[in-house]
Structure 1
């Protein structure tokens, strides 16, 4: 997968040192800008420093190879990215006045020098606003970043990638609920990837890719298994300019150069097309924005890309638009997807006709219910829906329901899945069998008899405790489950009346 950076190891920065270094830079912004805005300045500075330090490292290697031939060492082919001399970190560091303008000019010069790879990668932060970013503060920021050398030898991709993810998480914690647009619980992403089992050479797609964590999880999956990961093909689309830039930097900093992340609105302007059809991908991982209201429903009713295969979702909820887009983006031979949704998509009455067609299409393979607080900064319970375009024979005409609501751990106000939780869920999915209180295989015909309702408690009774099968409680009926969901989410409350009417009718 493109050119992979050399890994000549010397004494590397420890993970603790790296995290302290990175967060130390962010804290310099306190009192000047809101915590939610840290990311638009810190990520570009980190990437800028990395590019320049790697350029210097490549220059030193080329000088050594050529016996000190500077002209040879500066040839474009000796470097992954071109860094104009007047845009190098050392040139910017020397500025004492109009520092913000110097930074902005350098970032734009580097983008211009690498139009095919780095166009727009630094985002559109307003570096020249001296009220927010006075010269003395920016000089302190530059000096903080200058305290470490971010060469490959000093900070390999694995370590820097983990450090970058650390920053994403920290910024998400500081910026509140809006962080959901660029951060998805990493343990849930890990679970989704394990269930889909991406293979070497496959194409991986995320239509709402945020900071690219789901795309990188496919790479991490293969690396853990010591399989070839360099030939994965990564594709993502993200409508927010800053978030898409963060995603591009994230992938670059993990040592991957062969990928496509495009800024744009997936529903109105899908970026990956072939002729008059959507591109097809082997694996789709997604956490679409929940029930967005600002979308072009009228255009969807006669969608140019043929994505309205089940119908047109209501204006106030675009969830099924994303779902249909994903299904139409899956390879017909082995395409599979994992989508993180709130439970409402499983039973809302206003989407019942589309859900019926979805069940009849026989693409839903597994409906997995997770515990509360796994959506970022939200108590809402999440579900993962696995779809497959070409189910194995034993799975055709059936859906597996897994109730893993108890498979969750909460520490220091953070909810996450442990390795044991993930293993239990993946094992149940792989085994594809019934397990009292945890997993149930249900025929499509039986689901259609339930009005195509995919609500998990209709099919799997829950257990108490930590999901180990002990201390069984009385079966929980659907109404009690609905009441629990109702308490956890204002958004779900809007549809509860319709659901209860349906149950009682």
Structure 2
């Protein structure tokens, strides 16, 4: 069976988004993903199965029994669950889709269990038969075989769809989408190596795990022996992440649904599993978490203390530090700037500085968090710093390294290269980067706020940054610095007063 044709990237994107537009008026844009992704994956599985069948028939001279052997197929598709059968369904189409997906999951228990999520296909008020038939016919218009649509290209199309759904779904987007240029930067800094274990404790749609694979592919290095691990508490999002990796041709991974803080799934005996590389964008300052349980954490993750109820950021940070290998462990975490200076987390920050695991604090420009003008920072930690970097932290003020086009902010390749070079060089660069001793950080009250150490140039670099914004940020930094100095002066004065009182008492 020869391929119909190779699908171009633009055709693929138009085809994928065309499926979503058929749902308009029936369900909210934020819910598109729970129906489109499973249908796309279902169609792909069946088309690849048919392709494998045709190849095996050709190879065996038409031996049908040989061609249907399980070892000829990456995944098993029961005959009654095949796309072709579902396509003939005229009524109760939602039930037919749901039954077929469950059959395929049962036929592949080790790999596909739960992969299609839990969408309500049988709700005929939301998903009438005629609309589902239109959707199935739309997907049937292209053959998604490997020959027509190679894994890398379908993977890019899938990522396009994730991005489009993020654009359409407003504030919920951050749950499953992190700005890909920021993810690319984080991966370039950590430089994953062939054979390493990569972990994301809040993995969303698995974009960070895929970024590690893409990094090695770009360098023409072996990527198939990477071991990928992710945990995600949202069932649909974890299913999307698994489908994403499968569609990119990756099979050696474990993505498990669950709450990382309440129930970490990657454990060995009585301790957390440890990894070479951790990439993470934890949910920002979540309030609904079990602080009481954390105070007596059975996994020993409260190494620096118990975070306040209203902000779980340091819980994720400590979880990540406990999840890194002692010799090769390194991480890049995307955080809001507040973790660097908030007073309520000071005692934990003091211990973090004393532990000497923070290697670099990188400040990014505005609007890189999804659908939020908030500025983000990336914290790089290493469990085994090179000797020349010990008891030092590199601060990079990359607030001007951002470009904005069509209401989207992103990092260009030039921005990424400048930041990565500064990290690798680990030296001072006026107005951009500075190496600071841990002693100096302690003198400033263990405050890691970047403008305290590196004052960005007031130029707007890319036409995206106003001098007023920078001067306002600088004013905050100056206030923080002066308040630290004031506190030190007051402490000194109080000490002197105590000394005077003691001397007077001794007379």
Structure 2 length as normaliser, TM-score? 0.92
Q: Does residue 1:150 correspond to 2:144, yes or no?
A: yes
Q: Is the Cα–Cα contact under 8 Å of residues 461 and 476 in structure 1 kept in the other structure?
A: no
Q: Distance in 2 between matches of 1:96 and 1:179?
A: 35
- Structure 2 residue aligned with 1:306, among 300, 304, 313? 300
Q: 2:11 aligns with which of 13, 17, 35?
A: 17
Contact 1:461 1:477 in 2 (8 A): no
Q: Does 1:63 align with 2:57?
A: yes
The structure with more radius of gyration: 2
Change (3 A) 1:135 1:501: farther
**Which residue of the partner structure matches residue 130 of structure 2?**
136
Superposed, 1:281-360 pairs within 5 Å as 281-360=275-354
Output aligned runs, 1:22-171, within 5 Å.
Answer: 22-171=16-165
Note the 1:391-430 alignment, pairs <5 A.
391-430=385-424
Cα separation, 1, equivalents of 2:476 and 2:123: 50
Q: Deviations over 1:83-121 (max 9, x none)?
A: 000000000000000000000000000001101000110
Shift of residue 464 of structure 1? 2.8
Cα contact 1:463–1:472 (8 A) shared by 2: no
Q: Which residue of 1 aligns with 2:268?
A: 274
Q: Deviations over 1:294-338 (max 9, x none)?
A: 101011011000100000000000000000000000010010000
User: Given that residues 4 and 143 in structure 2 are in contact (C-alpha distance below 8 angstroms), is that contact kept between their aligned partners in structure 1?
Assistant: no
Answer yes or no: is the 8 Å Cα contact 1:208–1:237 preserved in 2: yes
Q: Per-residue displacement from partner, 1:373-394 (whole Å, max 9, x unpaired)?
A: 0000000000000000000011
| Deviating 4+ runs (over 2 angstroms) | 8-11, 464-468, 471-484, 498-505
CA contact (8 A) 2:86 2:100 kept: yes
Match of 1:376 among 370, 382, 399: 370
Task: Say whether residues 1:254 and 2:248 are aligned partners.
Answer: yes
Aligned residue number for residue 233 of structure 1: 227
Distance 1:502 1:293, change over 3 A: farther
Contact 2:455 2:474 in 1 (8 A): no
1:322–1:475 Cα change, 3 Å: closer
Per the TM alignment, residue 477 of structure 1 is displaced from its structure 2 partner at its CA by: 6.8
Distance in 1 of aligned mates of 2:483 and 2:107: 62
State the match for 1:218 in structure 2: 212
| Alpha-carbon displacement from aligned partner over 1:159-216 (angstroms, at most 9, x marks no partner) | 0000000000000000001110100000000000000000000000000000000000
CA offsets, 1:452-473, max 9 Å, x none?
00000000011133549xx997
**Relative contact order (C-alpha < 8 Å, sep 6+): which is higher?**
1
Q: How many residues are aligned here?
A: 484
Tell me, in whole angstroms, the C-alpha distance in 2 between the residues paired with 1:256 and 1:466.
41
Residue number in structure 2 paired with 1:173: 167
Q: Distance in 1 between matches of 2:36 and 2:307?
A: 39
CA RMSD between the two structures: 2.1
How much does 1:12 deviate?
1.6
* 2:381 counterpart residue number: 387
Paired residue secondary structure (1:407): coil
Residue aligned with 1:115, SS: coil
CA contact (8 A) 1:457 1:481 kept: no
| Partner-residue secondary structure (3-state), 1:50 | helix
Alignment of 1:461-480 (within 5 A): 461-467=455-461, 480=474
Counterparts of 2:486 and 2:178, CA distance in 1: 36
Q: Is contact 2:451–2:474 with CA below 8 Å preserved after alignment?
A: no
What TM-score do you get using the length of structure 1 for normalisation?
0.93
What is aligned with 2:359? 365
CA gap 1:16/1:473 in 2 versus in 1, 3 angstroms: closer
- Looking at structure 1, the residues matched to 53 and 482 of structure 2 have their Cα atoms a distance apart, in angstroms, of 68
- Name the residue aligned to 1:208: 202
**Residues 149/10 of structure 1: CA separation in 2 closer, same or farther (3 Å cut):** closer
Alignment partners' CA distance in 2, 1:424 and 1:135: 54
Contact 1:458 1:478 in 2 (8 A): no
| 8 Å Cα contact 2:202/2:233 also seen in 1 | yes
**Does the 8 Å CA contact 1:457/1:477 hold for their aligned counterparts?**
no
Structure 1: give runs of 5+ residues left out of the alignment.
1-7, 485-495
Tell me, in whole angstroms, the C-alpha distance in 1 between the residues paired with 2:201 and 2:482. 33
Q: Is the 2:444–2:484 contact (alpha carbons within 8 Å) kept by the matching residues of 1? A: no
